[in-house]
Structure 1
Amino acid sequence: MILYGLKTCDTCRKALKQMPECRLVDVRAEGVPLEVLTAAQAQFGDTLVNTRSTTWRGLTEQERLQPALELLQQHPALMKRPLIQTDAGLYLGWDKATQEAVGID
């Protein structure tokens, strides 16, 4: 399993603590592969972009109008976290449904 997130994100830390076998990919340092971003955007749509983040509030109105994939490539911290990639698929966030889907009781 791969967890795309930020090493400083509390939610990502909680997820990693419950899934020690998961590998963290820090999106600021390493980015997210375009094929993963494309698949996540197709699956989750606009919910992939965290519009409550400090990064989002710092964008100009014109920047916010860019396509989501372009925004996420330029500002990876805009992605809602964590994005978890397993053999079974992609999961976004760390709610009960995601935890059950990845085998956390």
Structure 2
Amino acid sequence: MLKLYGIPNCGTVKKARAWLDAKGIEYAFHDYKKAGLDEQQLSAWVAELGWESLLNRRGTTWRKLPEGVRAGIDEASAIRLMLESPSIIRRPLLDLGTKRHLGFSEAEYEELFAS
């Protein structure tokens, strides 16, 4: 089964969930703010997608970080930060089983589910 990762009050996550629901596509939702994330899973995502793609630099969580933390961010510190504050992970993350997809746009989801 597909798994959608995010936080329920995120507007983009709401759009992705609404799209999946409208298409009748079954999925499990994982609220990583409540349920957390394990380091092994996050490390696998980093290996596949890259830590820079996963790190949401547009959100308030990022902007609230001290400038020194933001300036000195690297893979190890990004992983630590994402584990401590999962709301800094770009969302939604759709786990298709064989690959992961970050973000939401109707066109991209249409393409993902075209087959």
Paired residue for 1:55, among 35, 57, 61?
Answer: 61
Residue 25 of structure 1 aligns to a residue in which SS?
strand
How many residue pairs match? The answer is 104
Give, in angstroms, the shift of residue 47 of structure 1: 1.4
Partner of 1:44: 49
**Greater CA drift, 61-70 or 42-51:** 61-70
Residue 19 of structure 1 aligns to a residue in which SS?
helix
**1-structure distance, mates of 2:57, 2:33:** 17
Normalised by the size of structure 2, how large is the TM-score?
Answer: 0.79
Partner of 1:35: 40
Q: 1:104 to 1:59 in 2, by over 3 A?
A: farther
Residue 29 of structure 2 aligns to a residue in which SS?
strand
Q: Which has the higher contact order (CA 8 A, sep 6+)?
A: 2
Give, in angstroms, the shift of residue 10 of structure 1: 1.2
Q: 1:100 to 1:15 in 2, by over 3 A?
A: same
**2-structure distance, mates of 1:51, 1:32:** 19
- The percentage of counterpart residues that share the same residue type is 32
Q: How does 1:1-105 map to 2 (within 5 A)?
A: 1-20=2-21, 21-45=26-50, 46-64=52-70, 65-66=72-73, 67-95=77-105, 96-101=107-112, 103=113
**Greater CA drift, 34-43 or 2-11:** 34-43
8 Å CA contact 1:50, 1:78 repeated in 2: yes
8 Å CA contact 1:4, 1:32 repeated in 2: no
Identify unmatched segments of 5+ residues in structure 2. none
